[in-house]
Amino acid sequence: MRMNAPTKGLFILCFILIVGALVSAFVYIPYVSVYKFWIMAVGSVLLLLSNMFKGL
How confident is the model over 42-53, as pLDDT tens digits?
Answer: 999 999 999 988
pLDDT at 1 over 80: no
Would 21 be classed as within a structural domain?
Answer: yes
Would 3 be classed as within a structural domain?
Answer: no
* Domains held by the chain: number: 1
The pLDDT, as a whole number, for residue 23 is 94
Cβ proximity of 16 and 55 under 8 Å: no
How many Å is the maximal CA-CA distance in the chain?
40
The pLDDT, as a whole number, for residue 3 is 84
- 50 to 24, 28, 29, 35, 42: CA distances (angstroms): 25, 29, 27, 23, 12
In tens, the pLDDT along 2-44 reads 888 888 999 999 999 999 999 999 999 898 899 999 999 999 9
Domain that holds residue 12: 8-52
Would 1 be classed as within a structural domain?
Answer: no
d(CA 26, CA 44): 19
